[in-house]
Every structure is written in C-alpha cells, then in structure tokens.
Amino acid sequence: MNRCPSCLLRFVSVAILLFVHHCIGILHAQEMFPVNGVHDKRPAVYAFTNARIVVSPAQTVNNATLLIRNGIIEAVGTSVTIPTGTIVYNATGKTIYASFIDIDSEYGMPVVPPEPFTFGPPQIESKQKGAYYWNQAIRSEKNAHQLFTIPPAPPVPPNLPPNIPPPLSQAAEYRNAGFGAVQTFPHDGIARGVACVVSLADAKENIVLLKDRSSAQYSFNKGTSRQDYPSALTGAIALLRQLYYDGQWYNQFLQKQEYNITLDAFLAAQKLPQIFDAGDDQNILRADRVGDEFGIQYIIRGNGTEYQNVRAIVETKAPLILPLVYPQAYDVEDPFDAQIITLPEMKHWELAPTNAAAMEKAGINFALTSAGIARKADFLENLRTAVRMGLSKEKALSALTTTPATLLRINDRIGSLEKGKVASFFIASGDIFEKETIIHQHWVQGIKHDATQPDMVDIRGTYSLTLSGDVQANYTLFVSGTTDKPVVDIQKSGDSTKYKATLDRNASNVNLRFTTDAKSKQDITLNGSTENFTTLLTTAGQPVVWSGKGRMPSSAWVNWTATRSQLFEPKPAPADTTSITLGTVPLPFHDFGFTELPKQETVLIKNGTLWTAEADSIMTNTDILLQNGRITRIGKNLSEPLARIIDAKGKHITPGIIDEHSHIAISNGINEGTQSITSEVRMGDVINSKDVNIYRQLAGGVTTSHLLHGSANAIGGQTTLIKLRWGSAPEQLKFENADGFIKFALGENVKQAHWGDFNTVRYPQTRMGVEQTILDGFTRAKEYEAEWKKFNTLTKAQQAQTPTPRRDLELDALVEILNKKRFITCHSYVQSEITMLMRLAEQFGFTVNTFTHILEGYKVADKLKAHGASASSFSDWWAYKAEVIDAIPYNGAILNYVGVNTSFNSDDAEMARRLNQEAAKAVKYGNVPQHEALKFVTLNPAKMLHIDNRTGSLKVGKDADVVIWNDNPLSIYAKAEKTFVDGICYYDIERDAQLRTGAQTERSRLLQKLLDAKRSGKPVQKPVRRIFTDDHYHCDTVER
Amino acid sequence: MRTLFSSLCTLAFCGLAYFAPLTAQIPQRSTPQATPIALIGATLHVGDGTTVIDNGTIVFDKGVITALGKETEVTIPANAERIQAKGKHIYPGFIAANSILGLSEIQAVRSTNDYDEVGDENPHARALVAYNSDSHIIPTIRFNGVLSAMTVPQGGMIAGMSSLMALDGWNWEDAVLAPDIAMHIAWAMVPRLKTFFAEAKAYNSAPQDKKNLKLEAMRAVFAGTRKLIIEADDAKAILQAISFAKEYGITPIILGGAEAWMIADNIKQAGVSVILRKTHRLPYRNGEAADQPYRTPSILHNAGVRFCLGSNGSWQQRNVPFEAGTAVAHGLPKEQGVAIISSNVAQILGVDKTMGTLAVGKDATLFISTGDALDMLGNNIEHAFMKGRKIDLMNKQKFLYDQYIKKYQR
C-alpha cells in the first residue's frame, strides 16, 4: 500500500480540522466553554483488539484488548468485554505502548531572544523592574504553566508541491517519535522557575496541561541575563549557594522587612522535585555537591558523557536525565585535517551510544530525553542504537515512561497503560526497538493522531488475479514487504518467472501496474477497490477481494479480480550477528588516561642523591623507602623485603614540586571579576580533573598545585589546593584538610587598566580605590561578625523574637581571614601597593600570608620580613606591563637573603612543567646555593601553604611525594623519570611511552572506523580547526 | 585645555625623570676595538655543531678573529690584551632568530609598541627604522650571551621586513648587521596571499610608470636577495607553504614549525630551512606527547633538516640559550645545541660569512661564560664582544640588584 502523499496531506488537514470536534466531543474539561453552533458531544469509546500491549515496561500482554472511554483507559487485558457502541480497531500484529514522556523540553514556551551582545560598559545591576531578586539569572518566579501556549502550526511554504506534505507541528514531531507528553519550562537562567507537564494532544491548553507545577529547575548557565555577575562557572555556583541562604533567611524572618517575589516563588517550589540541568559529567558532580550542602537530591540532567566518570556519578545517587545525542562521524580522509580531531572526541563518537547502557549497568536510575537531537525524527533511531549498544529494552521503556512519570510525581496519571490512567499510547507495527517498526497511530488523551499508515490494514498475502473480458489471463500476485511499504511480485500462470509490480493503495482504492512480457515490457494498468474495507479495519484475517477495470497495452479494457488466498507470513529477521568492537574508557577520558589506575606501592629507591630540602641538605648514595603513601625511612643500605626496588644510582631524588600559583585543572573561567569583591566564589567548586596539564606537569615533577582565582578584582575567590592524582575525580584531587586560602589582587588588573575604554565604570579604577575597596570589605566583615556574635548570645526565646542576620558568603570568607582561619595570597607587583596591604592587614590584626608575583618585593623585603609575609615570585618575567618595569630576576635571591620565605611559581601551564629550571635561575641571578634554590619550589611553597608538615621535603613521616630525576634537578638537562604522589607512581617515563603507543593504536583503529562510516554513507562533519584547543588560563584571563 | 596639556607635560616629565638616570648610566656604550685581544686557555665551542677545542685560545683584532686553536699553537701578538679564561667557555655570540626586540618596551602599553602596522598587507613596513637601540630590555638579553637578534614585524598576512641587529649600538644605523633581510608572511588568508603574490610578480616583471610601495617591496623577494619567511605550524600548512613559494622559484624559510617533525623528510628534500619557535611551549595538540616540543630539535637534526631555534617576544629572548639546552636534554647533541642558536641561524639568514662560528676572518662577536652557557647553572657571562668591542654587561636589573642588596647588607 504505497500511501499516496497527497492523500496523506489531505488526511492530515482533515485531522487538523477535526481535532476541535474531537476535543469538544470527548473531553468534558472544556465544558464551561460556550459552543458556537449545536453541541456535538460524541461517545468516544474505542477498543484496540488483538494487540500485543506493553502495559508497563515489565508487563506485556499478548492478544489483548485496550478499551478507552473519554480519554481514560477503561480496561486492558485478554478478557475485555467490548461494549456495544464501541469503535473497534483491529490491531493484529501491532504493539501498543504507553506514550513516551520527554522530561526536558521547551515545548510551547515563549521564545525570548537574548539581548544582542554589544560593546559597552558592563551591566553591574539588574535591569529587571519590580520586587525581584537582585540578579537577573535568578528567575524562580517563572511558572511554565502560565507561559505555556500551544505552538502555532508551522507555516505552509507557498507553492508547496501537492506531493510534499506540509511541515509537521512540533507536537506531531514529538508524537511521531513516540512522545505523548513533555515536561516544559523556559531554559533560561540559573534558577529557572517551575516546569509543567503537558500532553502533546492537538487540543486546547486547558486540556493538555496535565500538571501545573511539576518540578523546580536550575542550571549553571545564566542564560539571557546580561548582568555581569556571574561570568564564570565558579560564580554561578556561588550565586546559587547564596540564593539558598537568602531563601532560608527570607523564610525565617518573622516580620518581613522586605518583599521579594523571586524568593517567595523559590521557597514555594522547594517541595517539588528539584531538577538541575548540569551539563557534562563533571558538572553533574558539581550540581550534586551543591545539593548536598542544602540537603537536596537533585535530579540531574547530563549531556551524554556520564560514562566517562561512572564511579563518581554513581556515588552522587542522583537520578539522571540523559540525552541520546551522538556526535556525527568525522571526515578523516585528509590525514592532516584528521589530526584536529582529538582522541577523546573520536572515542566519544564511538562510545556516546553506549552511555545509557553504561548507566544501566552501573545501576543508575535515569530518564531519557530527546532534547538536543536536531531532528526529532532521529530520536527512535538513536534509541534503537542505544539498545543495540546494550541498553535493555525494559530499561529503555521505563526511562521514557514510568521513570519520568515517577520523578515528576505524575505516575498516577501517565507512564503506563493501566486502568484509570490517561489514554495516551501509540500503536506500532511491531517491536518499537526494531529498525523497520513504524508508528501507525498515536492516541493522546484519547485523541487519535495519525502517523504512518494510520489505517493499519495489512493487505499482504498471496492473491490469484484474473483478467477477463477481451483479454483473459490468470496471475499469482505475491504481496510482501511491510504493511506501509508492500513489495509486489507477479507471476503469469504457466510462466515460472516472477516480475516486479507496483501497487498504490489509498484506503480502499488500489492501482496495480505490471508487465509479464519480458520482450515488449509494455505495462498493464489496473484500478479497483474492495468492498469490505471497513471490516478490514476492525477485524483480522478477513478475505480480501479487489476488483475493477484495467487497460491493456493493446488499448483493450479488461475486468479484473484479485482474491487473497493466503496471508503473508513474515520471516523472522535474522539475528544481528555483527559483533561490536568498542574502545575502553580511560581514566581520565584522555589520550594519556589509565585503563587501570596506578596503585599505592611500597617502593625502595636505592643509592640516589637525595635533595632533602631539610637540614641534611644533599645526601649522596642514600636510600629512601615509600610505604603506605608516606616516606618511612631514609638512610644507607636500607632493605624492605616486600618493596619494589628502584636502582637510583646516578639519579637525583627530590620532594615533589609545589606550584604556589596555578590556573590549571579549572573549568569555565578562573575570574569572577565582575564585582570588586567575590570572596564567595570557590575554585574548589570547579576543579577539572581531565585537564591534560595535570599529566604534563607530573612529567615535570609537580605533585601539588595551588589553584587560584584570577586577578581581575581586589578580593577574588577562594583557592583550592590539589595533588596531581591524574585519573581521580575532582574531589579526590583535593589536598585533604588543607587550610583555606583566598586570592587578593592589586594593581593594573584590578583597576582594569588593560580592559579597554568601556571598562572604566567598575570601582576601583585607581590604587587609591583598591585600598578603600578592601578596607570596606573588612570593615563590613567586622560588623557582620559582631552582629552574628550578638545574635548567638541570645537565648532561644529571644532569638525567636529577633530577625536572624543574613548569612553572607562573601563576608563569611572575610571573617575567616580576620580570625586567621583563611589566608591571603595576594597578586601584587609594586612596592606601594604591597606596603598598603600589609598596613591594612595590621590594622585588622592579621598577616598577609603570601604576596604572589610581588616582582618589586625586593624593594620592600625588610618590610615583608617584619610583617611576616611570604613571597611567591616569577623567576625572571618582566616588561609585559607598566607595573613590572622594575621587576628583576634577582627578586627571589634578595627576598631569600633578607629572610622572607620565598618561592617561584608559574601562573602558566607551560612554565609549571619546568619549575625546577625556574628554581635554578635563583642560582644564576643572585647566587642562591643550589639546595636552597630547590626549596623555592618545594619546601618554601609548602610552608606558605601550611602543608610543610605533609610535603615539601624528604623527611620520614611526610607524604611520599617524590620525584626521581636523571640529573641534577636544577640543571637544564634534568628530566623527571618518575613522579610519585602519596607513594603512587602517577608518572613514569617508561609507562608514558606505552601510553603514547596505546593512544596511537587506538587512534588508528578509530580512524579506520570513521573512514568505514563515511564509506557506508553515514553523514560526516569536516574537522574544524579551533583556535584554543585547551583551556589555558593566566591570572588575567577573563571569561567572555 | 591648557591645564590638561600642562598636566600631560608633567606626566611626561615624570616619566623622563624616572628613566633618565638609568639611561644615562646603564650600560656604558661600547667603543671600537683598539688593540688585539687574546682570550686564553678556554674551552672553545666553535659553534659549527661539532668542534670543541679544549685549552683553546682565540685572538681578534679590529673586530675580526685573527687566530684560534689550542693554547699551545696560537701565537698571541705582543701588544694584545690578554684575558685568562682557563676552565671557562667561549661561544660565538648567540643569535635570537625571532624577536620583537627594540620594537616593544612594555607589551601592555600601546605607546611603546612598534611591531604591528595597520592592515593585512605590509610588505613595505621596515622593522629597522623602529628599532630602539636604547631599549632597557636589550642589555638584559646580551647578559645571557645573546648578542644579536632578528627584529621581526608582526601581525597580518604580510607583516613586513625584518632586520638582523647587533644588540649593541648607538642607534639603529649603527646596530644593523643585515638590513631588511627577510620578508615575513603568515600562512593564513591563503587565497588573498596567492592573489597578492601573483600581482606582485606581474608588477615586478615589467617596467612600471607608477610605483606601488607594497609591490615594490616584493622585488627583492622574487630576485632572491631577500629571504621569504613563512610562518606555519601545521604539517599541512608547512607543505602547502613550501610548494607555494616554490611556484615562484623561492625556497622559503619556515618559521614556527611545530609539526615540522612529522614531515622532516619532505622539508629536507625541499631544501627548506626551519626557524623552530620555542622548545619551552605546550604541546601543539591536546594529545601530543608532553615532551614533543622538547624533542622536535633532535628529530629534525637526525633527519638532516637545516634548522635553528628562535623564541617569541622581547624580554623572553634571554632564555634562548636555555631553550636550546632543553633540546640537548632531549636528544640533540650538545654542540648542536650551540649551533641552533649560532651558526645555523647565520646560515639560514645567509650571514654565515661573518657570523655564527668562531673562525678566523669572522667577526669577533663572542663571549666568555664561566660554565655551560646552555644551562642556568653555568650561564654566567664574564666578557662579551661585539665585533671586537667590549660590551658592558651591566643592565638595569643588575643595577637595581646591586643597589638593593647593598641596602640590605648594611
């Protein structure tokens, strides 16, 4: 039955015209609407018989009947009595599924075009008029159900040829992909308000709104807000955190002193399911951590990369929402351009379809969404691919039906085909996970919507065809193929040859064209119909008799009759025996990731030259034992039976290098420089454990890095200290129990000297203003602390009568500084500003822990010493801006000479690989003794970070953070051969060679697979060169 | 307006007052070599990539090397100034192959930058005339043994012409070693570049009534008297750039060459030289081996490619010796490490008749280091000579160090 497209077109138009009737007829919910004309209420009772009904993912009934009345399921099963007056659909051979639910959509939401980006001064304050929250990215007052309108039908292109169907409505696209309901909400902002659930019936809003308040929605993306804050991920997280505290504070207030629409709505939505659109695998962990702080278990929307971080994601215990977005294959026929595609990108191309299966295997509860797939029509194909890659059909179904329904607490109404539930289901030609299966009809809320071949009539079988009249002949007609695309063969009686014929069917009308004359190839054309078509619709296996008139090539007219003598017996599809080869998932997901993480070892390194960074100085021909992650013995001729022995004769052993100032391993921005004080932001929130710079720096002997906020503002964010445990999840990188630090900054970056002419608005623009900004911060912090102290001295009863002070995360961090519980590392260059900050700190009774950069430190070395600050400098950078014009490479030597604890840092992912060489520059410029100079990058930074009890020198009891070098570590000729962190060998020059080879082999395999994909006709994308392949941050890098 | 103007003047004077004493004192200007000088008993690193002369002596007069060899075999003129250098090392002056020295004083301060002209096609722009021989940065560069430098215009499709400068001189005319030596183009905007070359070629192959400065500047490039330096890092871009230049009968020099190691044999076969930009840089691609930039020189060397090592920027040039040292740490023979920042640069630029190695007849541009000059632990320059002139090694930074260390020693 090759359905005639123009007929379909007509069918669709009729359906659209009719749906209003349907609604009025079926659904009582619109009763209050006046009717223009006579009332037209119809019975609306339907039965679907002889079907395979998937009642729920776990329960399938064969040869069953589904009975619905007025949009609600009345009965389902094998012994359903069909009342009289029921319209019956024969669904023999068909499978009925509960409509899918897409938990993530923007269906029917207003399209808000973002304000175009213009060059101009920053927008510091909210432009939102009214009693709302101070930040435009917090939009909790948005209620999707109030915003929802049925999307208008897409315009029909003018001059559309009659054989081209008009574009489908959004709802029809969803329905054709199996969806009968969606959760929808505006995807805009960090707090996005409350979502609603609507059905995809072609009916009025009043009918389709199934649940008005289904969940509260959040993300890390500020969306259309052009307000400056937040600009970085770390700021977005800080804003969210503050929102929760503001909500608590606002809620506790007995007598509200101010009114806030946003916070009211935010609080009201707390009882709902809380959904977080996080993004990639690491953002899932971040979202979950925010939730943990406030006792909230978010349902988290991922992006399909979860398989790269399974273990950590399992630990979140969060239900997930997973898209089925698979990257297009890459065109790698140009071997050079192919270089642009990274191995992780290639691997993701291969493994993205395995993501859902991996989540199922890991026992994670998840819903699937079609969001992100460019064409809804591709959804089913992607779903089938996921199943082919190991996702069980049952899980796939529950992830599209019962799971989203349960997560949204609407499982009493939708998600399965049980009595009393909304009659939303689709009728498929077979198993929906099979490639050829089509959806015939999609009923939503009891309203029929047609998809492919909606009459479901199966005319396949063997027919005897007789021509009579002037020409008489007998034929056998074999109709096979699928119900919507039958294949016809014809054989003339007495002839053993089969010929192809074409059959067009439009409902009960058929056209047949064929020839059995191999020589002339002249066609016979027949037209006819069947009289029992209505029976065919409702009853299975009826005999079919077609008859009509036809024209012979000779111009003679004939009569014809075709009678089905035998039903078509489909052959079972051959089992797919092609085995699927897939790559492994390294940790982290990178060329140099580990298939198996290296383990802690007992290692005895023998006969090396130990640079202890302790009073022992350099010890030649000495052994060092690493056990349980610690250095347990140092001495001559040690032995330990269980230890792996490393012969280090001729080698040099040093403590692991510590970088006091680093910006590696951070996601989405190091500067929340939009306000002058952002002490509330935390770099610990945004650790990126996949950054290859971790591995590169291990190869340079680095074991600990202090990840700083940038220098775009006077009081920047809280820092985080990590050990370079390559392959571990972000939280596992954190240096355990380390003191908290915070980045301050002074000078040109803070006053935006290099930001262009528009950026002359944010206070401060001079060093005078920098002092006042910091002074103001600490003054407020002191008052804030006093306010809290006063409140905390009150009795419970008194407290109940007193407004609680507002928890302010920005001031919390400053109070910690005042109380010597958090420590400053301050970006600084010139002597004036350095002295200023010391005096300011002294005024408040604390010490500036570290001045970082401090290139004019040598001018005030005595003052630094007296104040008690440490100095962390560049070895030899200068001349890149006005405030470094007096920088000298002797800075470190002078500071050290005066007695200031001095280190050299990198602030640069490249230089951090060679900090040992930078230390050597203290020997060259200023004659610092070699052993002293090495301390510039080991013990001294350990001291300034308060971790010298743990690391920074070779001392029994300290962490086994140890590097083996092939040469004097200060020499240009030195190479790190092994780098241990906690006694685990994370870098080994020999294993590195294997990792490289392995990565190349894997790359070759995937290149071939990509070439094969292109050859087999898969669409491919051209590699496009990206300017920045890595996030490479310096302290003045600002996110745009 | 008057007030504004006068305050601007005040600012300007503040600036002068700030820099004036330093400019006046640091460093001393050099004077022509008056008497022969003999450096005696040192390890001579000839710079040719292999030759080392232990206990060597080198003599130069009137700016030119007159003798060198084993201490025992070299005759020292009676009137020579004798400098004992036993246990020390003598190298030909290192050459920074890619810099903006003299064109930028403070990178973030626009008024001090003179390396990037407006527009994409600036073949006529000459770095030479913008070269500030009194830059405070220059003395800090030669302090580490880098005694001459290419100063290179930047930006656009055709950046302009570079010159080879001595890092010592009263003014640019004084300092120039090879004016307008090379034309610098970037392998970008390729279709436009091709059009430009076609038009420049046509222009220069016929007499013209009206002069076009841009096209005129290309004449020497087509004539082969001005080098063509094409900036390209991708392997594919390098190959394309080479075949493009060859269409015009030009053998180009590749600047950058991050992926030159992948196509070393092709580069060698084409007879093309490479100015490798930096070893101290991150891998070119995310998945590239961590030490690839360090190893690239040894790969090119083993493949027989003629190459040298350059860097970027201005103040960074003092670390050129250590960038070469890193190449040695990763497989390049030690004397090759010297050659890639001395003789190879001279050869590639075509100035090896007078520069690049320690050889009789060449300029006496050389220095004495107390140790291995490619290593921070050994690089300590005691004497440096530019065409025989003694160079004052004092610089602003050393000066400040001396001031402040004295302050704290009191």
B307 touches chain A (CB under 8 A): no
Closest CB to A862 among B235, B282, B408: B408
* Encoded amino acid at A913, one letter: R
User: How open is the CA angle A489-A490-A494, to the nearest 5 degrees?
Assistant: 140
Domains observed in chain A: 461-529+542-567 (2.40.128.120), 586-654+959-965 (2.30.40.10)
Selected residue with higher pLDDT from A373 and A121: A373
**Is there a contact between B360 and B67 (Cβ–Cβ < 8 Å)?**
yes
From chain A, pick out residues whose CB is under 8 angstroms from the CB of B315. Answer: 877-880
Residues B233, B237: Cα–Cα separation, whole Å:
7
CB interface of A with B, residues 880-899, below 8 Å: 880-882, 885-890, 893-894, 897-898
Averaged confidence pLDDT in chain B: 94
Chain B residue with Cα closest to A882 = B106
Mean pLDDT along residues A347-376: 97
Contact yes or no for A858 and B328 at CB 8 A: no
Q: Token pair 């930009």 is at which residue?
A: B277
Residues A179, A172: Cα–Cα separation, whole Å:
9
Cβ count within 10 A of residue A183 = 29
Contact yes or no for B108 and A898 at CB 8 A: no
CB interface of B with A, residues 324-363, below 8 Å: 325-326, 328-330
Q: DSSP of B5-16, one letter per residue?
A: HHHHHHHHHHHH
Q: Token pair 């630029």 is at which residue?
A: B349
Of A568-572, A671-675, A1016-1020, give the lowest mean pLDDT range: A568-572
Chain B residue with Cα closest to A697 = B290
Q: In the structure, what pLDDT confidence band is assigned to residue A1004 with cuts at 50, 70 and 90?
A: very high
User: By three-state DSSP, how is residue A505 classified?
Assistant: strand
Contact yes or no for B109 and A1030 at CB 8 A: no
Mean pLDDT along residues A4-25: 41
Mean pLDDT along residues B257-264: 98
Of A269-278, A302-311, A532-541, give the lowest mean pLDDT range: A532-541
Residues A120, A122: Cα–Cα separation, whole Å:
6
Nearest to A766 by CA among A846, A836, A821, A865: A836
Mean pLDDT along residues A744-768: 92
Parallel, antiparallel, or unpaired for β A1020-1021 and A329-330?
parallel
B289 touches chain A (CB under 8 A): yes
Contact yes or no for B286 and A1030 at CB 8 A: yes
* A425, β-bridge pairs: A98, A443
Contact yes or no for B286 and A591 at CB 8 A: yes
Q: What is the pLDDT of residues A655-684, one digit of tens each?
A: 999 999 999 999 999 999 999 999 999 999
Rounded to a whole number of angstroms, the distance between the first and last alpha carbons of chain B is: 49
Tokens coding A301: 């929307």
Task: Reply yes or no on whether the pLDDT at A62 is more than 80.
Answer: yes
Testing the interface with A: which of B404, B406, B410 to mutate, by most A Cβ within 10 A? Answer: B404
Give yes or no for a cis peptide into B27 (omega within 30° of 0). yes
From chain B, pick out residues whose CB is under 8 angstroms from the CB of A972. Answer: 322, 325-326, 328-329, 374-377
B400 touches chain A (CB under 8 A): yes
Mean pLDDT along residues A416-422: 98
Contact yes or no for B375 and A971 at CB 8 A: yes
Tokens coding A199: 């059905």
Q: Token pair 């006093």 is at which residue?
A: A786
Residues B140, B31: Cα–Cα separation, whole Å:
19
Q: What is the pLDDT of residues A84-109, one digit of tens each?
A: 999 999 998 899 999 999 999 999 99
Residues A578, A571: Cα–Cα separation, whole Å:
20
Minimal Cα–Cα distance from A968 to chain B, Å?
10
Residues B169, B165: Cα–Cα separation, whole Å:
9
Chain B residue with Cα closest to A340 = B285
CB interface of A with B, residues 333-392, below 8 Å: 334, 336-337, 339, 342-344
Residues A665, A686: Cα–Cα separation, whole Å:
8
Q: What is the pLDDT of residue A681?
A: 98
B283 touches chain A (CB under 8 A): yes
Closest CB to B397 among A889, A909, A996: A889
Testing the interface with B: which of A690, A925, A972 to mutate, by most B Cβ within 10 A? Answer: A972
ipTM of the complex, rounded to two decimals: 0.94
Averaged confidence pLDDT in chain A: 93
Q: What value does the CA radius of gyration of chain A take, rounded to a whole number of Å? A: 36
The DSSP letter of residue B17 is H
* Encoded amino acid at A359, one letter: M
Tokens coding A914: 């060679």
Minimal Cα–Cα distance from B163 to chain A, Å?
22
Task: Reply yes or no on whether the pLDDT at B1 is more than 90.
Answer: no
Contact yes or no for A911 and B234 at CB 8 A: no
Minimal Cα–Cα distance from B356 to chain A, Å?
23
Contact yes or no for B289 and A914 at CB 8 A: no
Tokens coding B81: 């100034």
Minimal Cα–Cα distance from A336 to chain B, Å?
6
From chain B, pick out residues whose CB is under 8 angstroms from the CB of A992. Answer: 289-290
* Encoded amino acid at B73, one letter: E
Residues B291, B301: Cα–Cα separation, whole Å:
16
Of A536-550, A778-792, B359-373, give the lowest mean pLDDT range: A536-550
Please give the helix or strand (H or E) that residue A278 lies within, else none.
strand A274-279
Question: What percent of chain A lies above the pLDDT cut of 70?
Answer: 95
Residues A302, A284: Cα–Cα separation, whole Å:
7
From chain A, pick out residues whose CB is under 8 angstroms from the CB of B281. Answer: 910
Domain boundaries, chain B: 94-355
B375 touches chain A (CB under 8 A): yes
Q: In the structure, what pLDDT confidence band is assigned to residue A1029 with cuts at 50, 70 and 90?
A: very low
Task: Reply yes or no on whether the pLDDT at A922 is more than 50.
Answer: yes
Task: Reply yes or no on whether the pLDDT at A116 is more than 90.
Answer: no
Residue A220 CB contacts under 8 Å (≥ 6 apart), including other chains: A190, A233, A236, A237, A240, A278, A279, A283, A286, A287
Mean pLDDT along residues A274-297: 97
* Encoded amino acid at B147, one letter: L
Residues A73, A70: Cα–Cα separation, whole Å:
8
Question: What percent of chain B lies above the pLDDT cut of 70?
Answer: 94
Contact yes or no for A909 and B408 at CB 8 A: no
Contact yes or no for A909 and B282 at CB 8 A: yes
Contact yes or no for A920 and B289 at CB 8 A: no
Minimal Cα–Cα distance from B330 to chain A, Å?
8
Task: Reply yes or no on whether the pLDDT at A531 is more than 90.
Answer: no
Q: What is the pLDDT of residue A1040?
A: 44
Q: What value does the CA radius of gyration of chain B take, rounded to a whole number of Å? A: 22
Nearest to A266 by CA among A240, A291, A234: A240
Q: What is the pLDDT of residue A470?
A: 84
Mean pLDDT along residues A277-298: 97
From the number of C-beta atoms within 10 Å of its C-beta (0-12, 13-18, 19+), residue B371 rates as middle
Residues A384, A482: Cα–Cα separation, whole Å:
19
CB interface of B with A, residues 85-114, below 8 Å: 105-109
User: How open is the CA angle A529-A532-A536, to the nearest 5 degrees?
Assistant: 105
Q: Cite the DSSP H helix spans in B211-288.
A: 213-216, 219-223, 235-247, 264-269
Q: What is the pLDDT of residue A22?
A: 42
Strand order in the sheet with A740-745: A715-718, A740-745, A822-828, A850-853, A870-873, A902-904
B235 touches chain A (CB under 8 A): yes
Tokens coding B74: 């070299």
A504 touches chain B (CB under 8 A): no
Mean pLDDT along residues A422-431: 97
Residues A706, A158: Cα–Cα separation, whole Å:
63
* Encoded amino acid at B70, one letter: K
Task: Reply yes or no on whether the pLDDT at A18 is more than 50.
Answer: no
From chain B, pick out residues whose CB is under 8 angstroms from the CB of A926. Answer: 401, 405
What's the Cα-to-Cα distance from B282 to each of A727, A913, B278, B285, B288, rounded to whole Å? 21, 9, 10, 8, 9
Mean pLDDT along residues B175-203: 97
Contact yes or no for B408 and A914 at CB 8 A: no
Which sign does the torsion angle of CA B393, B396, B401, B403 carry? positive
Q: What is the pLDDT of residues A502-518, one digit of tens each?
A: 999 988 899 999 998 88
Counted across chains A and B, CB pairs separated by less than 8 A come out at 142
Q: What is the pLDDT of residues A366-389, one digit of tens each?
A: 999 999 999 999 999 999 999 999
A968 touches chain B (CB under 8 A): yes
Residues B72, A432: Cα–Cα separation, whole Å:
94
Q: What is the pLDDT of residues A858-872, one digit of tens each?
A: 999 999 999 999 999
CB interface of A with B, residues 729-768, below 8 Å: 748, 753-754
Task: Reply yes or no on whether the pLDDT at A541 is more than 90.
Answer: no
In CATH, what number does B94-355 get? 3.20.20.140
Q: What is the pLDDT of residues B44-89, one digit of tens each?
A: 999 999 999 999 999 999 999 999 999 999 999 999 999 999 999 9
Closest CB to B376 among A692, A888, A923: A923
Minimal Cα–Cα distance from A989 to chain B, Å?
10
Tokens coding A467: 């021509």
B405 touches chain A (CB under 8 A): yes
Question: What percent of chain A lies above the pLDDT cut of 90?
Answer: 83
Tokens coding A413: 């109404």
Tokens coding A893: 């030597």
Mean pLDDT along residues B217-245: 97
